[in-house]
Amino acid sequence: MNHPPSLELCPVYISSNRLSPYYTGLITQMVKSKCTLYSGIMCRYVLNTKTLKPTSKIVGGHEARPHSHPYLVSLQSRFLWVRVHVCGGAILNERWILSAAHCAIESFLIRWLPLDVVAGIHDVNNYGERAQIIKISERIPHPLYEGGIGPYDIAVFSTETRIKFTKYIQPVNLPNNYKFRGGYTLKLPGWGALKTTFFFPDLPSRLQEVKVTHIPYNDCYAAIEKLKEDNEVNPLDREANICTGPTSGGIAACSGDSGGPLIQYVPYSILDPNDSVEDNTERYNASYYDCNNEPTTQRLEEIEGTTIDIEGTTIGDDTTDDPGRQNAEDLVPTVIGVVSWGVAPCGQKGAPTIYTNVSTYIDFINYNIKEM
């Protein structure tokens, strides 16, 4: 499938500081020779010839509080002793990770090299003692995903061994019967580029986050129409995608953010009480925590033999745009989108970030994570 250059980003984020010049050169040449085959927001090499001025900042964000997104993982390809961050993902339960389909099959680094989940980290170059590194045993992209930019860009990954939940490693909530709606804060966490230049993006080692705004489908479709080539079909799909901005530029997902979760802080009361993942009560309760501060309540939860401090009153002032309308104690982080694709350079004016709408594919997710 061919795509206009303005819509292409391709995959590789070399995060290890132990990579020798020989292997750096080898991987660089492999990426340059293959990069035009991929789309999605994964790549260290952005094949875009437009000389637009890059914008600084996941783009436009800031460093996240350490472990404030404990459901977020780094999917990393393994080559000898080197690990390479290729995509983000979100923990669904002890055995399953949610990410994008192009993160499962499109990159040569993913298709042909072993893939690991790295959980419980803030810095991709310095894991720390809280990290868990677990091998991926199975990758299940949506069976209708055809590659490149388009619908069905969603996948689940099973781990070889169980993820052990701790204060720093937690599952995220699925939307199930909840359909995306505006009015609640949207956050995008990830290790994607802060800005892009002609050849190399500015890649952070520490986790970044940014608040994003929802762009209605019609406005998003019109924005993509202006950016694509005249002979290309607009790949946006009303049911399959969610768009964020703002279209004024300066805030966007970028290289290295692919597969990561778009998080909406949703009142617990409107989520489906019959969540398909086992131990649903523990999952929702475990969403209330503060990994850096003392808990403000005395509630404790036991998960996998580890005591979790449960904090239910100070999720953060930025989890609600209208504190008078929402009670922060009732809000839980819910993965409502998966980073799918965008426009290079990242954060340019008029260019939205496109996500796979998780609620559209909830049956695919629930069916597969029940299989084991």
Out of 258, 287, 340, 359, the active site residue is 258
Q: Which of 99, 116, 153, 359 is catalytic?
A: 153
3-state secondary structure of 219: helix
As a whole number of angstroms, the distance between CA 304 and CA 165 comes to 6
- Residue 297 has a CB neighbour count (10 Å cut-off) of 13
Candidates 3, 69, 85, 102; catalytic one: 102
Q: Degrees (nearest 5) of the Cα angle 264, 240, 191?
A: 50
Tell me: cis bond preceding 339? Omega within 30 of 0 counts.
no
Query: Is 258 annotated in the active site?
Result: yes
- Dig out the tokens for 283 from the structure: 């999952």
Of 321, 186, 200, nearest to 251 (Cα)?
186
Are 15 and 44 spatial neighbours (Cβ–Cβ below 8 Å)?
A: no
Is 74 a catalytic site residue? no
Backbone angles phi, psi at 257, to 5 degrees: -90, -10
- And the tokens for 361? 């594919």
Distance, in Å, from the CA atom of 298 to the CA atom of 34, rounded to the nearest integer, reads: 54
Q: What token pair was written down for 49?
A: 């010839």
Where do runs of H (alpha helix) occur along the chain?
21-34, 102-105, 108-112, 217-227, 280-285, 362-369
Residue 102 bears catalytic tag: yes
What residues act catalytically? 102, 153, 258
